[in-house]
């Protein structure tokens, strides 16, 4: 298998007031194409920060991040934004749908950044909603949907432009067990059948079982044995 992502000697710190808080110090890791990785770890260990770096919504202080053999850490703001819309789908804990848009319009949002015709966009939206099993809720507003349904819309939005990488930050953190399991099987299907590489942060050991492997992060460091495996 080829590596989709390669992090080399990544350093990242935040300054809060005068204090400098190091989150990552020379973090090196790789993630293969088609992998489904669960990342677990205590609060404040750097999980969200890692996803931000991988998804290009934040930049490392030092080190390199390769995606598909290309370095993304030095891309200009505009190029990085374009890269993100083409290659990464984001799934958030609190869904983050636009309340003013219907489910279908929420899913269509990332397609406004493409050159697809309105007809093609409608087709892609329908396909994405079908994959998450919500084709009959296309005209509903987020507040007319349950949490699980909203998260499905968010997943449809994340996959509609067919990115290679899906990043999910506690996607089931706000859902009950049954609904969570449904969402997790959907992610599993996306990984197995559509070959999406998925990196999922979770606090829930049950959720992590849906992934191919689990990495534990603590104070900005991964368990070395797990990384090597």
Ligand X SMILES: Nc1ncnc2c1ncn2[C@@H]1O[C@H](COP(=O)(O)OP(=O)(O)OP(=O)(O)O)[C@@H](O)[C@H]1O
Q: Which residues bind Mg ion (CB under 5 A)?
A: 48
Q: Does 22 bind other proteins (CB under 8 A)?
A: no
**CA dist., res. 130 & res. 75, Å (int):** 35
Q: Which residues in this chain contact ligand X in the complex, by CB under 6 A?
A: 14, 16, 21, 23, 41, 43-49
45 binds, among other proteins, ligand X, Mg ion, none (CB under 5 to 8 A by kind): ligand X
Residue 105 lies near other proteins (rule: CB under 8 A):
yes
Closest distance of CB 58 from other proteins, Å: 5
Q: Which residue has the tokens 């998450």?
A: 132
**Close Cβ partners of 14 (under 8 Å, ≥ 6 residues apart):** 20, 21, 23
Rounded-to-integer distance, Cα 210 and Cα 158, Å: 19
Q: Which residues pair with 12 in a beta bridge?
A: 24
* Strands (E) located in 68-207: 70-71, 88-91, 165-169, 197-201
Footprint on residues 153-192 left by other proteins (CB under 8 A): 157
77 interacts with other proteins by CB under 8 A: yes
> 43 or 117: whose CB is closer to ligand X?
43
Q: Are 183 and 191 in contact (CB under 8 A)?
A: no
Q: Which residues bind other proteins (CB under 8 A)?
A: 52, 55, 57-58, 77-78, 81-82, 84-86, 90, 92, 96, 98-101, 105, 108-110, 112-113, 157
């Amino acid at each position: 298998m080829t590596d989709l992502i390669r992090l080399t000697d990544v350093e990242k710190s935040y300054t809060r007031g005068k204090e400098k808080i190091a989150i990552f110090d020379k973090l090196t890791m790789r993630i293969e194409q088609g992998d489904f990785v669960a990342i677990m770890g205590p609060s404040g260990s750097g999980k969200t920060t890692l996803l931000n770096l991988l998804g290009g919504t934040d930049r490392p202080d030092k080190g390199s991040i390769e995606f598909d053999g290309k370095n993304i850490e030095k891309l200009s703001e505009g190029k990085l934004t374009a890269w993100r819309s083409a290659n990464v789908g984001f799934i958030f804990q609190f869904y983050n749908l636009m309340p003013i848009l219907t489910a279908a319009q929420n899913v269509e949002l990332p397609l406004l950044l493409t050159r697809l015709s309105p007809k093609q966009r409608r087709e892609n939206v329908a396909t994405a909603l079908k994959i998450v099993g919500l084709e009959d809720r296309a005209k509903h507003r987020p507040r007319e949907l349950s949490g699980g349904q909203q998260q499905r819309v968010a997943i449809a939005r994340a996959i509609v432009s067919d990115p290679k990488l899906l990043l999910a930050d506690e996607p089931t953190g706000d859902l009950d067990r049954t609904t969570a399991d449904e969402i997790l099987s959907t992610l599993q299907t996306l990984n197995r059948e559509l070959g999406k590489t998925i990196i999922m942060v979770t606090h829930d050991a049950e959720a992590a079982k849906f992934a191919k492997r689990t990495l534990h992060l603590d104070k900005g460091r991964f368990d070395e044995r797990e990384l090597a495996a």
